[in-house]
């Protein structure tokens, strides 16, 4: 109950008398009339805002879950998510999801060399960032992703008119600065000013007369993000050899522990599950291998207490002068079960994917989500093929140039014996 006491005589202690009385009535009478109900109205308004936020997060959760099950369905998932965000208070998020749909559709033209699963993965990451903003969680920087370079290398024996530009296809080129450097025998030159971002998924680098000064002493061009190389393009000179290749196996003997944040309901599962999902994935970024671990634990009834989140970290970095050409393992490990007790639960990830074993912590006495529920993972060996990057041309780039007729016949003839010596 809100009580307001004002001596009646004070209403008239002013030179303007009646106007002050009217002002007083306009400001305070609604409160007096509302009485005890004003607190209830504020509570209802707060509950409405809370419900909308909770529904929005739940809608995003469902979309992210759908992409974890099938990343190729990203277009229908985004369309469905936009349709479900109907409340006016959800309009900002609805616009973000709609923009993401348009952005992703635009990036699927014939010129884009990224596969459907790649687009789905980037869509999922974008939805996770939207959800993190709603929950006031840390938002990781948006790393640009490179799918394809045309041509894959620059053959200096080719006519200059046929090697006057490089085209880069990928994703999120417009969200963060990207630098380009030219590596010559005498040093490194920043040529970022010659890079033109046509769209968020397409960039070109001018190699013409007024562009990057590629010459007989040039070795390679490098794209960099946050001072880290994300792509290396060889410049093939008359003496440039085919890059050496070698197998590499990396074994991590330590385990990784992850406790996802609390995202819904109270923090206690109370013996109602939880139902648990996990997905672990290696991704080859060329200059490193990323490991992403996602986990969700959801109560099977009541207020649907949920802990969900993901962790991404650099898992492996090759020695200087080498690049990861390919990963021989299966790239993904998954787990799904319903917790029925207070014991740790072990789920096999399999012999060939990233995770050898998942060990889950689900329910216990007391609060669970955000403080206890989580997973420990042990790893399988990571098996890769590495390719040397300095002062050489990768075999894969040479094959790509042959297919596109962007390599001189004399260069093919010179490199062919070296190509034959490489193991398939």
Alpha carbon 328 to chain centroid, angstroms? 23
The pLDDT value given to residue 1: 39
The pLDDT, as a whole number, for residue 306 is 92
Burial call 130-147: b when 16+ CB within 10 Å, e when fewer: bbbeeeeeeeeeebbbbb
Looking at every residue in the chain, the average pLDDT score rounds to 84
In this predicted model, what pLDDT tens digit does every residue of 166-219 receive, in sequence order? Answer: 999 888 888 788 999 999 998 999 999 999 998 888 899 999 999 999 999 999
What confidence category does residue 51 fall into, taking pLDDT thresholds of 50, 70 and 90? low
The CA distance from 29 to 34, in Å, is 8
Q: What is the pLDDT of residues 114-138, one digit of tens each?
A: 766 678 888 888 888 888 888 888 7
Q: How wide is the angle at C-alpha 365 spanned by C-alphas 359 and 50, nearest 5°?
A: 95
| % of the chain exceeding 70 in pLDDT | 84
Q: Are 276 and 296 in contact (CB under 8 A)?
A: yes
Cβ pair 84, 77 in contact under 8 A: no
**Global model pTM greater than 0.75:** no
Which pLDDT belongs to residue 122? 82
* Angstrom distances, CA of residue 165 to CA of 33, 136, 212, 245: 74, 43, 9, 28
Whole-number Å distance between alpha carbons of 182 and 221: 5
Rounded-to-10 torsion of CA 120, 126, 127, 128 = 110
**Do the beta carbons of residue 78 and residue 103 sit within 8 Å?**
no
Signed CA dihedral, 264, 270, 272, 276: sign only: positive
């Amino acid at each position: 109950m809100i009580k307001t006491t004002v001596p009646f005589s004070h209403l008239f202690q002013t030179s303007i008398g009646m106007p002050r009385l009217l002002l007083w009535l306009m400001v305070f009478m609604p409160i007096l009339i509302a009485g005890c109900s004003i607190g209830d109205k504020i509570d209802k308004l707060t509950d409405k805002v809370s419900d909308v936020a909770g529904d929005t997060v739940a809608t995003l959760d469902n979309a992210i879950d759908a992409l974890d099950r099938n990343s190729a369905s990203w277009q229908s998932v985004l369309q469905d998510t936009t349709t479900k965000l109907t409340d006016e208070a959800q309009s900002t998020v609805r616009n973000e999801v709609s923009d993401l749909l348009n952005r992703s559709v635009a990036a699927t033209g014939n010129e884009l060399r990224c596969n459907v699963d790649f687009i789905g993965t980037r869509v999922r990451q974008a939805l996770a960032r939207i959800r993190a903003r709603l929950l006031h969680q840390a938002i990781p920087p948006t790393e640009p992703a490179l799918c394809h370079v045309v041509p894959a290398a620059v053959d200096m024996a080719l006519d200059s008119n046929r090697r006057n530009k490089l085209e880069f296809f990928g994703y999120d080129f417009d969200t963060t600065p990207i630098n380009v450097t030219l590596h010559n025998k005498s040093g490194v030159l920043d040529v970022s000013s010659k890079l033109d971002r046509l769209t968020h998924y397409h960039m070109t680098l001018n190699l013409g007369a007024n562009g990057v000064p590629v010459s007989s002493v040039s070795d390679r061009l490098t794209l960099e993000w946050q001072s880290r190389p994300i792509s290396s393009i060889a410049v093939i000179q008359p003496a440039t050899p085919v890059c050496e290749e070698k197998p590499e196996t990396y074994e991590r003997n330590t385990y990784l522990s992850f406790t996802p944040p609390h995202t819904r309901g109270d923090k206690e599962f109370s013996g109602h599950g939880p139902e648990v999902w996990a997905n672990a994935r290696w991704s080859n970024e060329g200059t490193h291998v990323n490991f992403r671990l996602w986990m969700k634990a959801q109560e099977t009834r009541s207020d649907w207490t949920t802990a969900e989140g993901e962790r991404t970290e650099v898992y492996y970095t090759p020695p200087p002068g080498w690049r990861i050409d390919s990963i021989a393992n299966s790239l993904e490990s998954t787990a799904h079960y319903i917790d029925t007790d207070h014991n740790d639960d072990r789920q096999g990830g399999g012999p060939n994917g990233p995770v050898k074993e998942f060990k889950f912590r689900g329910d216990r006495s007391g609060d669970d989500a955000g403080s206890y529920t989580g997973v420990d993972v042990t790893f399988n060996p990571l098996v890769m093929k590495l390719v040397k990057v300095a002062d050489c041309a990768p075999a894969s780039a040479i094959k790509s140039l042959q297919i596109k007729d962007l390599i001189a016949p004399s260069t093919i003839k010179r490199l062919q014996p070296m190509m034959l010596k490489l193991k398939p």
